[in-house]
């Protein structure tokens, strides 16, 4: 026991030393004074264990790439109980802090979190309650493992067909990297096939040691390359790339990385698909091109329509841009197209570098009802047959349609009219001849006969165009022959100065008789001669004397759309009104030097014949004044012709043989209607002021007996009166309003197609047929209305047939043909008789009808030829006879032929005499024999023998007499 002494000087401390580790000691405090001493209770304390450093108890075995087995024991130098064993390690790359692998009281442990290919320094730390001590370091080297942490490569585009690929060393090389491999593959298509398949494109070798070395000489070679330039890729294509790294233990690979190459100009765009959406629209749909085709991001689609060019010097097709978008739409609907038509389109696709267009895609709109059926061409084939042909509708709007052909009779067409030689003009048509008809020269010669008649009771002489020819452009040069106020005028301009010439005498020639007019031009001097008696001359104020090439020669009128560009005034102004009359014996001077040569004009040689009667039909010789409505026609007047209002009157004179027909029809903007019609021979007037309630009044009188009847409609305030002069008492109606608003159309005859359908049908109103018959003296508010001022369809303005016709008939429209053909022969018709034909084209959607066309059967055998009369023997060689015109009207009589047969010697050839003058009702001629033959049209000949003449043979010195056998 050790004793330590202290002087009592307050609180004392004492530090014991030189003790033994992990030993228990007891300490007592004794206090002493003069009186004595005392001791404290003992206290016990143990010294801690002294842990030595550098003990060697750690053992490592079974070292792998990531694991190792460790075992240890309690160091002999440690007396105190061990409370914890701690296993740690350090590596050259991580010298501090140490990595703790284990903590506990076990004396063995398998470490599983080692890093391959790493030098480890393992240490065991032993801890007691008092302290810890670290034993000796044990070195360990883990084995190699396949590389890990191979990072996907970085890909950078160099151009459209090459890329630069780089990669880093693996995050965990786990050994010496000796090789890298670079792979490429395409993305799978819809079939799962990759193009290209997985392919190694680079395989560099080398030596990459992730451990730090003391000197470069410790490395046997350079590390393998970590970049590569790959060429031959496709533009704007998705590829996948990956990298593998290899060491002694194996191979590690990166994830695939997707990369798209750079854009290039597009190569291809698929053609669009076009399908009909309706009869006026199509859907155009296109597919997005593949990446290999477009080679870039689509920034725009442009849709072009292919338009056919009519310019012979231009490409046959041109492209018209109709739609564009920013690539977000793959379809477009185009409206406003024609039914059942093929349309072609091209789609253009653009990326940031360029554009490419597809081939064309075509499609067709859906069908609709046909439109604009052209009127049929009606030609007489013989005396009882007609050839009717027609073309397809201008707008078939579908597959080839079926056709139906209807025939309707012509009012006052039976019996046929009496005709004579000549070309008839009804006031609305014209012939157009080639420009070569008039020679390009310093002379002009035209000779013709005309016949025209001023309407009865009219104080206005006839003005009409006979012939017109003008140069192209501004028509600086022109030749005109026209009637102005009943007098022929010759107008011409060799360029630089127009002049007009007419006979000096103030005689009019619109008297219904034939008149001959002859015009001549020599240079600037023009002359005109009428009936070889009335003359006039004038000179053009210009130095030019040649009239050159013209656009054509028009006879009888001008087309409605013909542009008359000359601005001449007064007597030099060209009259546009068509000629309503007859022409014959038209001759043109073809040359003048050395001799004048005249050429007869054949109307059949015209390039265009518009609304004219075939010249072979001749000219009616007994027309009455008025306008002839054959039926299924109309005249449309300007909207100002009937202004409506509080008071007005309408009057006309008409004659018809039909029970029903529309006489007058006017229609306003807001349902106003004024309709005058025949129903069952009775006159009916319907008026609607626009209130929706029609007022009707009827005069029960048969007006279909073919006689002229004067009809008057008078309005005074709300009272409207209908009357037929000389027939029965007037009939009146009281309107709901005093004023009839102005109407936009006034129609005599039948309304044009589609207009009549706008009438609101009320009650039992019937849809009457077109008027067939004649009209004249049409007046509004007592002011005569000239039919030439209207738009005329199937109406003859040159006069009315005088034949009485039937009485109160119902014209029957019959279907003559139905089927796909466009030609039909109609048989069993009347001789030399007019008929009307209409064609209706139809498909599964609907139908359309043409306007009616008029044609006439050919000439027939003459009928009604009476015996010749008053035979006269002039001498022993000559006999004269008279004969009458055949009473039957079967065509134009072209000549009479008288044949004389020798009764004593029948085999002798008869003596013939031909008489070309067929204009008279009575004719006479001289011949040796009595026999009359009449030729009509195409030399149809009939011989009728009524008088036999026997020639007595006598001596030359004796008188030769005739013996007549009647």
Please give the share of the chain, as a percent, with pLDDT higher than 70.
89
Pairwise CA distance, residues 181 & 253, whole Å: 9
DSSP string, 763-813: TT-----B--EEEEEEEETTEE--GGGSEEES-B-S-B------SSB-PPP
Cα first-last separation, the chain? 208
Whether residue 807 is contained in a domain is answered as: no
DSSP string, 385-426: -EEEE-PPPSB--SSPPEEEEEEEEPTT-SSPPPEESSEEEE
Question: Per residue in 362-390, pLDDT tens?
Answer: 999 999 999 999 999 999 999 999 999 99
Has residue 938 got a pLDDT over 80? no
State whether 430 and 545 are in the same domain. yes
Whether residue 345 is contained in a domain is answered as: yes
Q: Where is the domain boundary, 556, 586, 620?
A: 620
State whether 650 and 764 are in the same domain. yes
Query: What pLDDT sits at residue 51?
Result: 73
Compute CA 706 distance to the chain's CA centroid, rounded to the nearest angstrom. 50
CATH classification at residue 896: 2.60.40
Query: What pLDDT sits at residue 502?
Result: 97
State whether 519 and 667 are in the same domain. no
Query: What pLDDT sits at residue 961?
Result: 29
The pLDDT-based confidence of 9 (bands split at 50, 70, 90) is: low
- Please give the torsion angle defined by the CA atoms of residues 733, 736, 742 and 745, in that order, rounded to the nearest 10 degrees: -60
Whether residue 802 is contained in a domain is answered as: no
Burial class for 935, CB neighbours closer than 10 Å (0-12, 13-18, 19+): buried
Query: What pLDDT sits at residue 320?
Result: 94
Q: What is the mean pLDDT of residues 63-88?
A: 91
Pairwise CA distance, residues 737 & 690, whole Å: 9
Query: What pLDDT sits at residue 693?
Result: 67
Query: What pLDDT sits at residue 216?
Result: 59
Has residue 72 got a pLDDT over 80? yes
Whether residue 434 is contained in a domain is answered as: yes
Instruction: Indicate yes or no: pTM above 0.85.
Output: no
Query: What pLDDT sits at residue 740?
Result: 61
Compute CA 722 distance to the chain's CA centroid, rounded to the nearest angstrom. 50
Three-state secondary structure readout of 283-352: EEECCCCCHHHHCCCCCEEEEEEEEECCCCCCCCEEEEEEEEECCCCCEEEECCCCCCCEEEEEEEEECC
For the chain, give the number of residues. Answer: 966
Q: Select from 676, 621, 625 the least CA-distant residue to 649.
A: 676
Has residue 219 got a pLDDT over 60? yes
Please give the share of the chain, as a percent, with pLDDT higher than 90.
61
Is 200 or 874 the better-scoring residue by pLDDT? Answer: 200
State whether 732 and 828 are in the same domain. no
CATH classification at residue 288: 2.60.40.10
Q: Where is the domain boundary, 560, 589, 620?
A: 620
Q: Select from 819, 673, 680, 681 the least CA-distant residue to 747.
A: 673
State whether 787 and 827 are in the same domain. no
The pLDDT-based confidence of 218 (bands split at 50, 70, 90) is: low
State whether 512 and 591 are in the same domain. yes
The pLDDT-based confidence of 742 (bands split at 50, 70, 90) is: low
Whether residue 933 is contained in a domain is answered as: yes
Task: Quote the tokens at residue 672.
Answer: 């106003």
Pairwise CA distance, residues 374 & 394, whole Å: 7
The pLDDT-based confidence of 764 (bands split at 50, 70, 90) is: very low
Has residue 306 got a pLDDT over 50? yes
DSSP 852: P
Q: What is the mean pLDDT of residues 62-86?
A: 90
Q: What is the span of the domain harbouring residue 555?
A: 419-620
State whether 201 and 285 are in the same domain. no
Least reliable range by pLDDT among 128-132, 697-701, 805-809, 948-952: 948-952
State whether 202 and 255 are in the same domain. yes
Whether residue 100 is contained in a domain is answered as: yes
Contact indicator for 480, 490 with CB cutoff of 8 Å: yes
CATH classification at residue 489: 2.60.120.200
Query: What pLDDT sits at residue 898?
Result: 80
Q: What is the mean pLDDT of residues 806-833?
A: 93
The pLDDT-based confidence of 271 (bands split at 50, 70, 90) is: very high
Whether residue 863 is contained in a domain is answered as: no
Question: Per residue in 894-910, pLDDT tens?
Answer: 888 887 777 777 888 88
Least reliable range by pLDDT among 278-292, 404-418, 432-446, 750-764: 750-764
Pairwise CA distance, residues 64 & 144, whole Å: 8
What's the chain's average pLDDT?
87
Burial class for 173, CB neighbours closer than 10 Å (0-12, 13-18, 19+): buried
Question: Per residue in 515-535, pLDDT tens?
Answer: 999 999 999 999 999 999 999
Burial class for 442, CB neighbours closer than 10 Å (0-12, 13-18, 19+): middle
State whether 281 and 158 are in the same domain. no
Task: Quote the tokens at residue 290.
Answer: 């593949």
Query: What pLDDT sits at residue 900?
Result: 76
Has residue 711 got a pLDDT over 80? yes
State whether 558 and 674 are in the same domain. no
Contact indicator for 835, 855 with CB cutoff of 8 Å: yes
State whether 133 and 22 are in the same domain. yes
Query: What pLDDT sits at residue 805?
Result: 62
Q: Where is the domain boundary, 122, 143, 164?
A: 143
CB count within 10 Å of CB 535 equals 15
Q: Select from 684, 666, 669 the least CA-distant residue to 763.
A: 684
State whether 398 and 499 are in the same domain. no
Whether residue 862 is contained in a domain is answered as: no
Query: What pLDDT sits at residue 926?
Result: 65
Q: How many domains in the chain?
A: 7
Has residue 214 got a pLDDT over 80? no
Pairwise CA distance, residues 441 & 804, whole Å: 52
The pLDDT-based confidence of 563 (bands split at 50, 70, 90) is: very high
């Amino acid at each position: 026991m050790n004793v330590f002494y202290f002087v009592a000087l307050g609180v004392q401390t004492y530090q014991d030393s030189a003790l033994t580790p992990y030993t228990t000691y007891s300490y007592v405090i004794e206090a002493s004074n003069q009186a004595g001493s005392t001791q404290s209770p003992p206290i016990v304390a143990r010294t801690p264990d002294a842990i030595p450093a550098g003990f060697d108890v750690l053992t490592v075995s079974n070292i792998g790439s990531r694991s190792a087995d460790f075992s240890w024991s309690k160091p002999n130098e440690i007396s105190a109980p061990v409370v914890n064993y701690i296993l740690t390690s350090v590596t050259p790359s991580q010298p501090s802090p140490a990595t703790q692998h284990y903590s506990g009281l076990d004396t063995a442990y398998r470490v599983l979190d080692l890093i391959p290919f790493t030098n480890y320094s393992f240490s065991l730390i032993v801890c007691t309650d008092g302290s810890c001590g670290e034993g000796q370091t044990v070195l360990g080297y883990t084995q190699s493992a396949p590389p890990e942490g191979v990072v996907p490569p970085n890909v950078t585009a160099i151009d459209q067909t090459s890329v630069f690929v780089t990669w880093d060393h693996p995050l965990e090389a786990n050994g010496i990297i000796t090789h890298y491999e670079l792979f490429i593959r395409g993305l799978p298509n819809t079939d799962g096939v990759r193009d290209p398949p997985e392919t190694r494109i680079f395989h560099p070798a080398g030596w990459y040691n992730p451990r730090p070395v003391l000197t470069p000489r410790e490395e046997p070679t350079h590390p393998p390359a970590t970049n590569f330039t790959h060429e031959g890729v496709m533009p704007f294509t998705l590829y996948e790339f990956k990298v593998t790294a290899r060491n002694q233990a194996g191979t590690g690979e990166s994830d695939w990385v997707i990369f798209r190459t750079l854009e290039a100009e597009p190569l291809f765009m698929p053609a669009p698909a076009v399908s009909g959406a309706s009869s006026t629209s199509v859907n155009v749909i296109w597919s997005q091109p593949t990446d290999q085709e477009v080679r870039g991001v689509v920034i725009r689609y442009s849709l072009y329509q292919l338009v056919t060019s009519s310019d012979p010097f231009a490409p046959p097709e041109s492209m018209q841009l109709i739609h564009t978008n920013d690539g977000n739409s793959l379809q477009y609907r185009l409206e406003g197209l024609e039914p059942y038509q093929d349309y072609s389109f091209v789609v253009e696709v653009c990326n940031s570098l360029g554009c490419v267009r597809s081939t064309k895609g075509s499609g067709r709109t859906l069908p609709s009802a046909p439109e604009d059926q052209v009127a049929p061409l009606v030609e007489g084939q013989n005396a009882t047959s007609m050839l009717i042909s027609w073309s397809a509708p201008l707008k078939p709007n579908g597959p080839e349609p079926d056709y139906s052909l209807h025939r309707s009779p012509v009012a006052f067409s039976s019996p046929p009219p009496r005709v004579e030689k000549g070309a008839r003009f009804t006031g609305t048509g014209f012939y157009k001849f080639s420009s070569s008809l008039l020679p390009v020269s310093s002379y002009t010669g035209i000779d013709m006969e005309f016949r025209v008649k001023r309407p009865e009771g009219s104080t206005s002489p006839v003005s009409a165009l006979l012939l017109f020819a003008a140069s192209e452009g501004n028509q600086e040069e022109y030749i005109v022959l026209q009637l102005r106020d009943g007098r022929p005028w010759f107008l011409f301009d060799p360029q630089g100065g127009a002049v007009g010439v007419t006979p000096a005498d103030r005689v009019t020639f619109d008297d219904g008789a034939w008149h001959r007019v002859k015009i001549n031009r020599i240079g600037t001097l023009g002359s005109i001669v009428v009936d070889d008696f009335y003359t006039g001359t004038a000179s053009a104020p210009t130095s030019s004397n040649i009239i050159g090439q013209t656009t054509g020669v028009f006879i009888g009128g001008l087309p409605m759309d013909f542009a008359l560009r000359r601005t001449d005034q007064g007597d030099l102004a060209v009259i546009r009104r068509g000629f309503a009359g007859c022409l014959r014996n038209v001759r043109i001077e073809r040359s003048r030097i050395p001799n004048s040569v005249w050429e007869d004009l054949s109307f059949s040689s015209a390039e265009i014949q518009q609304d004219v009667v075939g010249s072979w039909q001749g000219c009616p010789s007994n027309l009455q004044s008025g306008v002839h409505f054959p039926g299924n026609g109309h005249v449309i007047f300007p909207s100002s012709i009937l202004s409506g209002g509080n008071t007005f009157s309408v009057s006309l004179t008409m004659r018809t043989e039909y029970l029903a027909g529309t006489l007058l029809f006017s229609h306003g903007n807001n349902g106003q209607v004024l309709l005058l019609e025949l129903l069952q021979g009775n006159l009916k007037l319907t008026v609607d002021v626009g209130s929706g309630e029609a007022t009707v009044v009827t005069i029960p009188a048969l007006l279909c007996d073919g006689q002229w009847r004067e009809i008057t409609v008078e309005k005074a305030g709300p009272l409207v009166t209908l009357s037929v002069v000389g027939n029965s008492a007037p009939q009146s109606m009281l309107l709901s309003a005093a004023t009839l608003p102005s109407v936009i159309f006034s129609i005599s005859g039948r309304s044009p197609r589609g207009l009549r359908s706008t009438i609101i049908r009320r009650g039992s109103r019937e849809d009457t047929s077109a008027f067939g018959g004649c009209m004249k003296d049409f007046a509004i508010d007592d002011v005569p209305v000239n039919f030439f001022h209207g738009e005329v369809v199937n109406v003859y303005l040159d006069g009315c047939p005088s034949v009485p016709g039937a009485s109160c008939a119902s014209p029957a429209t019959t279907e003559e043909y139905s089927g796909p053909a466009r030609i039909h022969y109609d048989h069993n018709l009347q001789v030399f008789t007019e008929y009307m034909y209409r064609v209706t084209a139809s498909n599964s959607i609907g139908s359309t009808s043409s306007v009616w066309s008029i044609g006439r059967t050919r000439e027939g055998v003459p009928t009604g030829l009476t015996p010749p009369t008053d035979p006269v023997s002039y001498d022993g060689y000559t006999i004269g006879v008279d004969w009458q015109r055949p009473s039957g009207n079967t065509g134009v009589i072209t000549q009479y032929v008288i044949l004389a047969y020798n009764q004593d010697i029948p085999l002798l050839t008869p003596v013939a005499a031909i008489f070309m003058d067929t204009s008279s009702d009575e004719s006479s001629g001289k011949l040796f024999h009595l026999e009359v033959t009449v030729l009509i049209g195409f030399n149809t000949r009939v011989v009728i023998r009524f008088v036999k003449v026997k020639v007595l043979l006598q001596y030359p010195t004796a008188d030769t007499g005739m013996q007549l056998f009647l």
